[in-house]
Amino acid sequence: MDRLTYPRKFLLISVLFGIPLALATYFLFGEINDSLGVGIAQGYATIGAIGFEGRWDYGAIGTVTNLAARLCGEAKGGQILVSRRVASSAEALVDVEPVGALTLKGFARPVPASLVTGLKPAS
């Protein structure tokens, strides 16, 4: 199994899941903190300008953003936890290991999650 180093891990995340290039660049070339865990979910969200005149922000709201935040909160340093949908979408590219169903705040039922353990060999 190909163990992911931090630069490869965050490059993989940015390419596969669309993390902004500035964030990916920070992780590739900046200081990496071992305490950082990553949570990724895939689905529909409401995005757009939120706020009022003179104080507008661009943001995303919805269940998928909450799920990603909760997975991030559960991830230990150096881990990438993904939702079932993300694991299915990326199964050809990464190795994942199910971690079971997690009880997450804001979700009525436990949510199945997986841990990204490495890149699959190129075919």
Most confident among 15-19, 68-72, 107-111, 119-123 (mean pLDDT): 107-111
Q: CA-based angle 84:82:71, to the nearest 5?
A: 115
What is the rounded distance in angstroms from the CA atom of residue 32 to the CA atom of residue 17? Answer: 20
Q: What is the rounded average pLDDT for all residues in the chain?
A: 78
Is residue 94 pLDDT above 70, yes or no?
yes
> Using 50, 70 and 90 to split pLDDT, how confident is the model at 21?
very low
What pLDDT was estimated at residue 1?
Answer: 39
What is the rounded distance in angstroms from the CA atom of residue 114 to the CA atom of residue 76? Answer: 13
- Of residues 73 and 36, which shows the higher confidence score? 73
Domains of the chain plus CATH, in order, are 33-119 (3.30.70.1230)
What pLDDT was estimated at residue 19?
Answer: 52
